[in-house]
A and B are shown apart, each in its own frame.
Chain A
């Protein structure tokens, strides 16, 4: 199996399974993570996510990281059940590294997309049973073609290319409309926004999602709680520090009416 550099196959040979179709008991509400977005800007692609994880109407955690780095040039943002999503990210991270180290070349961008589809397909029983539905957005920089790319998936593993932007999670209907409006009738299309403007838009979008969706956490300045924003360019993935987001939020997002 080493010949093919397929890490998931290696795990399976050792008895590993990703999703099990355990049906959901009546008393249990699974934890969910919500509202992620990705759009292309001038230098690459921006991926952002709020930080709230909920179980039913209870807030489980307010510092969740839903935008996860898989390698130097790709990021997976997750909406859905975090337990499954984190596991998938772990599998992917190891798969890409294993491929690179055994085959002595990087897995192609298309190869990476396929790997995610395969994982989601394996996870279908759990997704349908309600214990492990994950709806990811995958964004990365394709070094061979020199361009940023965004893909989103449904829970069955179908892959769709988000040409300019993609959203997922319970807060996404709100911001999908805004993204469409901004991209079509805004001052300039999203893919021409400079880095700082792109970050401001991401903060405004997540704040809007939190306004209309209780499962989305907004910005909490008292607790210095800001969304996770990552920028992917040809140089790699870069996490925007809170210290950068704070002044942007205060000067360009908050309105004292």
Chain B
């Protein structure tokens, strides 16, 4: 029945709805450039969501772990084969995304008889010079976006817009790693809160007598409120942070930050999160 064009459009529409549902439990991912490179941050429930792809490439993801693994492996495979056959400087995030995985994700999304990839992906690429740093995000339908300075993944487009707006508003010219981590966590909290708010709004719509403040018009909470939210959620989960560092010796620039690396960087109110 999907052969008819109308049916196909309808099926793809259903698919979007289904996929949007799948990200509801997901934790946002924030990528931010700072003076020494690029910082990636998220909060995970045990399984890491930040990965090393190549010498200067890192990956962050949301969605189904198995789908994410599948795409991670194809990125790793493409990057290493290209890096070996040509040279490591020919492995670029934009080529891997645009000609590598984005077409695969799009095809899976549009073949309505088959399962789509339940993923949103962020690829961070550390340039030789800071102005060459690049951030790419890919949605579950294969659309990709390139951005400079910061990029985020979130459960809904609305949450994503809020996070990006907050980051753009706060970003001074250059950040130290400590400042970047602080800002990234606040942006993460914005995404996470916006998402909670949307959930309650939806419930409220079904109940006739409900609160009046909607997710869209709610004012941006203060830094203290945001940090309290991070503390509340990260307590039972793992704070995941990774950096791509320009000045580090050797070819591999990726480093995952261990609790002992994070402790001195975090604001005092969050120290307890990494301590346990």
Q: Which residues of A contact B (CB under 8 A)?
A: 2, 7, 10-11, 14, 72, 90-91, 94, 97-98, 100-102, 104
Identify B81's interface contact among A14, A90, A97, A101, CB under 8 A: A14
Q: How far is the CA of A11 from the CA of B83 in the complex (A)?
A: 12
B48, B54, B84 — most chain A CB neighbours (10 Å)? B84
| Residues B77 and A2 in contact, CB atoms below 8 Å apart | yes
B63 to chain A, nearest CB (A): 18
Please report which residues of chain B, range 60-84, place their CB below 8 angstroms from some CB of chain A when the two chains form the complex.
Answer: 73-74, 76-77, 80-81, 83-84
| Residues A101 and B83 in contact, CB atoms below 8 Å apart | no
B51 at the binding interface (Cβ < 8 Å)? yes
Q: How far is the CA of A100 from the CA of B250 in the complex (A)?
A: 15
Given contacts A91-B84, A94-B84, whether A101 and B77 have CB atoms under 8 Å apart is no
Given contacts A72-B250, A101-B51, A101-B53, whether A11 and B81 have CB atoms under 8 Å apart is yes
Q: Which B residues touch A2, using CB under 8 A?
A: 73-74, 76-77
Q: How far is the CA of A94 from the CA of B55 in the complex (A)?
A: 10
B interface bracket (residues with beta carbon within 8 Å of A): 10 to 19
Identify B52's interface contact among A7, A11, A72, A101, CB under 8 A: A101
Q: Main secondary structure on chain A at its contact with chain B? A: helix
Inter-chain CB contacts under 8 Å: number: 33
Given contacts A101-B51, A101-B53, whether A10 and B81 have CB atoms under 8 Å apart is yes
| Residues B76 and A101 in contact, CB atoms below 8 Å apart | yes
Q: Which A residues touch B250, using CB under 8 A?
A: 72
B22 at the binding interface (Cβ < 8 Å)? no
| Residues A102 and B84 in contact, CB atoms below 8 Å apart | no
| Residues B80 and A7 in contact, CB atoms below 8 Å apart | yes
| Residues A97 and B252 in contact, CB atoms below 8 Å apart | yes
Given contacts A72-B250, A97-B252, whether A102 and B81 have CB atoms under 8 Å apart is no
Q: How far is the CA of A97 from the CA of B53 in the complex (A)?
A: 10
Identify A98's interface contact among B48, B51, B74, B76, CB under 8 A: B76
Q: How far is the CA of A101 from the CA of B51 in the complex (A)?
A: 8
Residue of B nearest to A69 (CB): B250
B48, B74, B81 — most chain A CB neighbours (10 Å)? B81
A196 to chain B, nearest CB (A): 23
